Amino acid sequence: MNEANKGVALVTGASRGIGRVIAIQLAKDGYNLAFCYKHASTAAEEVKSKIEQLGSRVFLQTCDVGNFDSVQSFIKDAEASLGPITLVVNNAGVINDNPLLKMDLESWSSVINSNLDSVFNVCRCTIFGFLKRKKGCIINISSVAGVYGNAFQVNYSASKAGIIGFSKALAKEVGQYGIRVNVVAPGFIATDMTEGLNSKIMEQAISNIPLRRIGEVQEVADLVSFLASNKASYITGQTIQVDGGIIL
């Protein structure tokens, strides 16, 4: 059970993978949770049930985070249900890999929309409340691909690099109002997206990681938990990698 209510955390992409564990960890930390889903309704309901078992209140609703009006409506309804949002974790994202030579406009646009436009939409719809209250925390989930680039992922790498630039600029804008903005950049993390990889690819990936293992989702969630806490009260505008040293 959580010990005390710290406010309301909005987590996008919380139905599965990294977002799911982040949402559950924040519930353990004492937050009530607002999160949305676009397709995975059954998975979202399972996360909702888990969070409620931890003693937190939950607001769950369908929302296309790549659509500004949808996000605006979701946030309005979430705050009417739970109260003012105090923490934002932008985690929603997709991949659609191909060499640039074979990448069509839809593959480019859909990834940019889901990964980067969504960050603008959520931050734009919550920032006024943060400024008004002179309090708030934003944690955007990027990737090591956004720091260093990945071949055959120009769309994904561009979207994740955009998140880093967005976050640094916003941190400078709103720091004077007591609002912190940071980025978490995971490396190779064990999620449902990595489960389908064959053993040869997994072995090759692990051989490139100095710690010689794939990261756990909880390790990403623990960093988010720290950055959201008062222990990180003097940290803003930073991009922190959780990657086992894969890029050194």
pLDDT digits (tens, 9 = 90+) for 121-175: 999 999 999 999 999 999 999 999 999 999 999 999 999 999 999 999 999 999 9
Instruction: Output the pLDDT for position 176.
Output: 98
Instruction: Output the pLDDT for position 222.
Output: 98
Domain topology for 7-242: Rossmann fold (3.40.50)
Kindly list the distances between the CA atom of residue 224 and the CA atoms of 24, 59, 65, 78, 151, in Å, as whole numbers in the listed order. 12, 20, 20, 21, 27
In the chain, pLDDT over 70 holds for what percent of residues? Answer: 97
Instruction: Output the pLDDT for position 38.
Output: 82
β-pair type (179-186, 7-11): unpaired
Q: Is the pLDDT of residue 2 over 80?
A: no
**Sheet-wide strand order for 136-141:** 58-62, 31-37, 7-11, 85-90, 136-141, 179-186, 239-242
Residue 39: pLDDT band by 50, 70, 90 thresholds? confident
For the chain, the domains span 7-242
Q: Are 246 and 209 spatial neighbours (Cβ–Cβ below 8 Å)? A: yes
Q: Is the pLDDT of residue 191 over 90?
A: no
pTM here is 0.95
234 noted as active-site residue: no
Instruction: Find the catalytic residue in 31, 37, 148, 156.
Output: 156
